[in-house]
Amino acid sequence: MKFNDYVYQRPDMVAFKSEFNRLLADFNKAPDSATQNQIIGQINALRNDVETMFKLVQIRYSIDTSDAFYEAENDFVDEQAPVYEGLVTEYYRALLASPHRADLVEKWGEQLFNLAACLLKTFKPEVLPLLQCENKLASEYRKLTSSAKIEYDGQIYNLQQMAPFMQATERSVRKAAADSYMRFFEQNEVQLDRIYDDMVKVRHDIAVKLGFANFVELGYARLGRTDYDAAMVAGYRQQVLDAVVPLASQLKERQRQRVGVETLKYYDEAFEFVDGNATPKGTAGQLVDAATQMYRELSPETGQFFDFMVAGGLLDLEAKTGKSGGGYCEFINNYRAPFIFANFNGTADDVGTLTHEAGHAFQVYSSRNYALPEYVWPTLEACEIHSMSMEFITWPWMENFFKADTAKFKYSHLAGALTFIPYGVTVDEFQHFVYQNPTASPAERKAAWRAIERKYLPQRDYDGNDLLERGGYWYRQSHIFFNPFYYIDYTLAQVCALQFWHKMSDTARDAAWQDYLNLCRAGGSKPFLTLVALANLENPFIDGTIAAVMQPVSAWLNAFEGQL
Ligand SMILES: [Zn+2]
């Protein structure tokens, strides 16, 4: 069955609620764990039905944000998702209070109960209207940024479609494209500030109503982080400052010399080689064919997985007007099917996004038969290990995508993986500032962003662009709006992915692939640091890990630089 044939029908939330509550009442008076286990199965079947419909709406709306039908259904989901989450919270409360809990833990494992305890802290019925308001604000940001019509060189583009011009070989083109891109944010500065300010205030109110001092701890709990806290993350950012920032600055300086500019301006940063960046060779269809062949050669498991994706029409890859930005992978519960969404624009990112999202999709495909929806995906930092590692695991096949540009691609990919980490911690530290200072004005927030940026990205030169100089770069970073505190995850995962890169590049490749498979199959059945250990990876929070991981990366880049 193909994705387009998956039938959407608006779920009857009144019927759902009464059925859910009836099952909960049965659960609470069940005489033994066997009965409770059976009811857990029935509750999860109901949850899967509703989640399937919610996800069909979210995917189809993101494919075309001008589709009036799915826009209305998306409003419905914004309204009803918190109601749904509220009911799930009641189920978690019942799980934790079960007199048969020890037996349930033995059957399902600790992680379900850790997650339940964590998520229980994030909801009370009195915050429901505030959660609905938060969702509406997120949709407002999505609508605003997806509707961007950038006028450039006589044509109209969306934000994503501007990327190739911003990497053009001619500096004046890059600058003009970057100016046009930024003009969208300048024109919408007041509105973006208002949306974000409302979001911060509503999140702070939710946190206070739930008994937290501010949103920080609530943000961590929402992400199901059970085995690290803000203090550990602060220590980790310090490791990045010490071990990665100096290397990133060196790479930027070499880039400056390589592309032959006196100072590397912000619109030069995406431009890496005088004769142009690596670009994929072929249409979206040809890239999918190359990926099909690659995944068949990589392993039987990945071959079967990717064939399933293609046969099911479970990829929507090309940038289109009205399509929401970015890339993601979703899992459609009742069809046991992953879905990959991307915005191909002819840059090397197309291949990066494809292998990245395929990493997520392969993981969820590998763990899709867990009986608990909680165990299909792990927490987000662990999810990003699957995706970011897959980007490196597929290196031996990059010739099929980049032809003569392969060497340039590999260099850019690895150098970019390193320079991304300081940017990622910038986004994270900024959000800690924002939620620890909920009364800060939009101007104060921007000033804080700029100060943090100067610490982690010391070479960044905005060439007098007013909004960027005042600290407006982060408007484009949708995670800051949609998923507070979800960003450090990419850097934690990158530190893990670089370990896979190193292991996969030598004779230990087979063992490393087995570690990767084991990690994917474990899904979300364990918390982050347990998964890290299970995959034989070093813990990024332990002092010294990052410096050790950077060593082979830096050595490879140094050796490669001579050959470029
Ligand atoms: Zn990802």
pLDDT attached to residue 159: 87
Q: How far apart are CA 475 and CA 145, in angstroms?
A: 10
- Ligand 1 centroid to 166 CA: how many Å? 23
Rounded to 5 degrees, what are φ and ψ at 527? Answer: -75, 170
Give 173's DSSP letter: H
pLDDT attached to residue 483: 95
- Ligand 1 centroid to 390 CA: how many Å? 11
- Ligand 1 centroid to 209 CA: how many Å? 32
Q: Burial level of 404, CB count in 10 A (0-12/13-18/19+)?
A: exposed
- Ligand 1 centroid to 400 CA: how many Å? 23
- pLDDT of residue 507 exceeding 80: no
Cα dihedral 558→559→561→564 (10° resolution): -170
Query: Which whole number is the average pLDDT over 424-440?
Result: 98
- Ligand 1 centroid to 380 CA: how many Å? 8
- Ligand 1 centroid to 259 CA: how many Å? 30
- Ligand 1 centroid to 351 CA: how many Å? 14
Name the pairing type of β-strands 315-318 and 328-332.
unpaired
> Using one digit for the tens of pLDDT, what is the confidence trace for 437-485?
999 999 999 999 999 999 999 999 999 999 999 999 999 999 999 999 9
Query: Which whole number is the average pLDDT over 258-271?
Result: 94
Stronger pLDDT, 257 or 563, i.e. the higher one: 257
Name the pairing type of β-strands 155-157 and 328-332.
unpaired
> Using one digit for the tens of pLDDT, what is the confidence trace for 140-151?
998 899 888 998
- pLDDT of residue 322 exceeding 90: no
pLDDT attached to residue 564: 60
Q: Are 534 and 522 in contact (CB under 8 A)?
A: yes
- Give this prediction's pTM: 0.93
pLDDT attached to residue 551: 97
Rounded to 5 degrees, what are φ and ψ at 343? Answer: -130, 75
Query: Which whole number is the average pLDDT over 243-266?
Result: 96
Percent of the chain with pLDDT over 90: 89
> Using one digit for the tens of pLDDT, what is the confidence trace for 341-391?
999 988 888 999 999 999 999 999 999 999 999 999 999 999 999 999 999
pLDDT band with cut points at 50, 70 and 90 for residue 489: very high
Percent of the chain with pLDDT over 70: 99
Which of 241-255, 265-279, 411-425 is predicted with the least confidence, judged by mean pLDDT? 265-279
> What is the phi-psi region of residue 2: left when phi exceeds 0, alpha when psi lies from -120 to 50, beta otherwise?
beta
> Using one digit for the tens of pLDDT, what is the confidence trace for 191-241?
999 999 999 999 999 999 999 999 999 999 999 999 999 999 999 999 999
- Ligand 1 centroid to 452 CA: how many Å? 24
